[in-house]
Structure 1
């Protein structure tokens, strides 16, 4: 494959008993947008090994599209190296664990192939996955039958083994942060639209495209509309990536600013302003009492005003922000606290006065309420405590 220096890369992954033929008519329509590489998995018996093979054979960052079993491989690639994936497309695929009926059904297909040869799968496996339009396309059915028969029974058995022992991908979905396209066909009974709708619920910002009249082999049954969906995804993804990056940077800045501001108010004893940094129903677990729940802005204010009078200085380090969505983020901070009785003029004087030193952390659940970022929950903890003498 000749790779362009200016165009991004799109890696298309074939599914069970499929090769480049499953993608070639789609890929030919994307040559102006991306450099396409099609990869298949004859000889593999493990989905993680398939994923590692892709990562070792493709350089740099790339967009990733997986069809059927290839969609599961794509998810495994994202799990292994999310930093290399710029966008993700999952076509006619699933994330559900194996069912009680799946293994016997797959074993029957292996037995049939061993008994009658791979040609038997053209009727027992391929036909049930096709749309009515696809079945009536003699040229397409001939091509797909030849594709299936190009695999050996041994290769088929290995790929079935990989699917039966697939890693669970359900927990991964909520961590996917790149622009994601889901695609299914109205006549796909193997990986139906409802299956993709469930996946969409767990991937923030993902889009679902349904190809009317297409079955499980949608890239071959309707390559024009599949390519159209991918073109739209590739273009929108680039724009959304840029916008989302800027939005995330702004959210991160606003949330970290709130945390820093609240700590400054704490050290300055500006209790009302500090309480106003919390939501009306905010929750506080103070570092000195990490299991005692203080709930509500008024109760939080009381907990501050009733505390013993001490001079404090909090130093925040290792501040990390995990953006959940556009309305919520979690900020984790390491905290070094110097505390001493009586008025101190500076951090240096507090150290010289043998102030108590505490090392702990804050975990702040921050939410956007009416356009304002506020602390919904602060969990404090203390891991180390040095008692000063003097």
Structure 2
């Protein structure tokens, strides 16, 4: 992996392939390894970059007082340093909320948005009682004694995780930093991007697991109704982490969307 420095932090990333840039932004309790099927499959046509967000993977710990806007600024610094903007930007779950904050702060870096099983923040997408239940569950998880901390959130997969990804998922879980996860979930509970959605002026792909119970299809339909230019692709047999549950279907949707809009950009240019 390579790294850049942004706001005094070391930001690690993996970069593969050549072609139009595609930036992958992982969810909470994850890092760039969770995008392995996309890095492997899409590098034949795109320059694919998956970061380890601050506080995850090989990147620096979170500074005190780190806010959602700071995540967006660090992501912007990565794109600018690598000279890849405007790029196709994909975010899964919490990563999609970070990507929306990037659009709010740095829209010039974004050619298209790819929202995968995500939220306009928990506050912006879920009923208040569901947000309270998730916050309570997160506090209980984070209060576990040493040696018993399990960062696996419920409902991530439609059934059992695909066997080929179980060792990878265990390795990622073993590297999760409780302080990072607790801070992320607090930010997620407070985030509300509903005001931003109608102002998104780039083509937006919505990729949603048919069986997602964490961000159900009703959230996808909220995005679809609010954002002016959207395409919704429902991934059959997939849960919340659809990029691992059904990677071939997700890769096909992302490839077709990015190929189409990269071609249109070239033609208009």
Normalising by structure 2, we get a TM-score of 0.80
What residue in structure 1 maps to residue 256 of structure 2?
A: 232
> Does the 8 Å contact 2:150/2:173 carry over to 1?
no
- Secondary structure at the aligned position of 1:32 is classed as coil
- 1:48 corresponding residue in structure 2: 69
2:211 aligns with 187
From 137, 148, 151, give the equivalent of 1:108. 137
From the superposition, tell whether residues 237 and 216 of structure 1 become closer, same or farther in structure 2 (CA, over 3 Å): same
Seen in structure 2, the aligned counterparts of structure 1 residues 141 and 187 have a Cα distance that, compared at 3 Å, is: farther
Cα deviation for residue 3 of structure 1 reads 7.3
Give the paired residue count: 238
Residues in 1 aligned to 2:233 and 2:186: alpha-carbon distance in whole angstroms: 30
Aligned CA distance change for structure 1 residues 15 and 2 (closer, same or farther; 3 Å)? closer
Q: Name the counterpart of 1:82.
A: 107
Q: Is the alpha carbon distance of 1:36 and 1:193 closer, same or farther for their aligned partners in structure 2, counting shifts above 3 Å?
A: same
* DSSP-derived class of the 2:114 partner: strand
Unaligned residue ranges in structure 2 (runs of 5+):
1-13, 56-60
- Equivalent-residue separation in structure 2 for 1:76 and 1:161 (angstroms): 16
Equivalent position SS for 1:201: helix
Q: 1:131 matched to which residue of 2?
A: 158
Greater relative contact order, per chain length (Cα 8 Å cut-off, separation 6+): 2
Name the structure 2 match of 1:312: none
Q: Map of 1:149-298 to 2, 5 A cutoff? A: 149-166=174-191, 168-241=192-265
User: Which structure is higher in strand share?
Assistant: 1
Instruction: Give the deviation of 1:112 after TM superposition.
Output: 2.6
Report the Cα distance in structure 1 between the residues aligned to 2:121 and 2:172, rounded to whole angstroms. 27
Matches within 5 A, 1:27-42: 27-41=39-53, 42=55
Deviation by residue 1:143-167 (Cα, 9 ceiling, x = unmatched): 323312311221221212221232x
- The CA RMSD measured in Å over matched residues stands at 2.3
2:35 is the counterpart of 1:11: no
- C-alpha contact 1:68 1:91 (8 A) present in aligned 2: yes
When normalised by structure 1's length, the TM-score is: 0.56
**CA distance in 1: counterparts of 2:148 and 2:212, whole angstroms:** 23
**For residues 173 and 164 of structure 2, what CA distance do their matches in structure 1 show?**
14
Name the CA shift for 1:84/1:239 in 2 (closer, same or farther; >3 Å): same
